[in-house]
């Protein structure tokens, strides 16, 4: 009986220790995110060097990642040139219309999905930093979802990118942190917090899965 009671109690203490560790990491990230940065005249270059995607972050060993991109146009207008400005040379956009019952307005999405390597990821990110600013002027929003088959140290990534944590959750072996990074123009409200980066990692050591979502996760993880 004593042994049977000790097991759930030990699990309870382990979970409390995990929560304490996460709280310490969050506190460290908050203070570390205010470190001074090298200035750059070009915002796109500054963003590219300070907020890399997963493969070029130095935090994963994966050689390729699954990338999904959604361009959302709430007013239904797709700016001229959007179709021809591709994240990668062989990228294919899928067009979809969605009618809002409340206003009867038609929203439009362009979406695509494929696997990429580090070089393709670098080119894609240059595309993103340029397109994000162009589409922001017309009300368009870009959503990026990148996934690798490896668990990752989220706290190290956020520290490296000067992202300020806003929300976090620890569920079993999965850690989720939503943060704000000043180099991104696009952001969304999560409750009362403004975020533009969401990271989830599940697994043990490097065995598992990680997803990076900008500005927020649209699909289940």
* Tens-digit pLDDT profile for residues 94-125: 999 988 766 677 899 999 999 999 999 999 99
The mean of the pLDDT values for the chain is 81
Task: Give residue-wise pLDDT tens across range 132-179.
Answer: 989 988 889 999 999 999 999 999 999 998 999 999 999 999 999 999
pTM over 0.95: no
- pLDDT at position 38 is 37
What's the rounded mean pLDDT across residues 21-25? 49
Q: What is the DSSP string of the chain?
A: -HHHHHHHHHHHHHHHHHHHHHHHHHHHHHHHTT------S-HHHHHHHHS--STTTTS---SEEEEEEEEEETTS---TTTTTS-SSTT---EEEEEE-TTT--EEEEEEEEEEEEHHHHHHHHHHHHHHHHHHHTTTEEEEEEEEESS---HHHHHHHTT-EEEEEEEETTEEEEEEE-TT-S--EEETTEEESEEEEEEEETTEEEEEEEES---S--
What's the rounded mean pLDDT across residues 185-192? 88
Task: Give residue-wise pLDDT tens across range 29-80.
Answer: 444 333 334 344 444 444 445 578 999 999 999 999 999 999 999 988 899 8
């Amino acid at each position: 009986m004593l042994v049977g009671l000790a097991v759930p109690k030990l699990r309870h203490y382990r979970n409390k220790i995990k929560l304490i560790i996460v709280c310490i990491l969050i506190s460290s990230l908050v203070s570390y995110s205010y470190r001074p940065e090298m200035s750059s005249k070009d915002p796109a270059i500054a963003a590219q060097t300070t907020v890399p995607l997963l493969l070029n972050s130095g935090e994963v060993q994966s050689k390729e990642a699954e990338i999904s991109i959604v361009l959302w146009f709430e007013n239904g207008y797709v700016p001229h040139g959007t179709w021809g400005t591709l994240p990668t040379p062989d990228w294919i956009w899928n067009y979809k219309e969605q009618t809002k019952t409340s206003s009867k307005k038609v929203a439009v999405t362009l979406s695509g999905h494929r696997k990429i390597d580090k070089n393709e990821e670098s080119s894609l990110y240059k595309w993103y930093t340029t397109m994000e600013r162009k589409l922001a002027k017309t009300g368009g929003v870009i959503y990026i979802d990148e996934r690798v088959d490896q668990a990752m140290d989220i706290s190290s990534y956020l520290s490296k990118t000067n992202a300020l944590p806003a929300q976090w959750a620890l569920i079993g072996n999965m850690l989720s942190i939503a943060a704000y990074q000043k180099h991104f123009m696009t952001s969304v409200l999560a409750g009362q917090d403004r975020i533009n980066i969401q990271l989830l990692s599940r697994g043990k050591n490097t065995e598992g899965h990680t997803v990076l979502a900008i500005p927020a996760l649209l699909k289940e993880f």
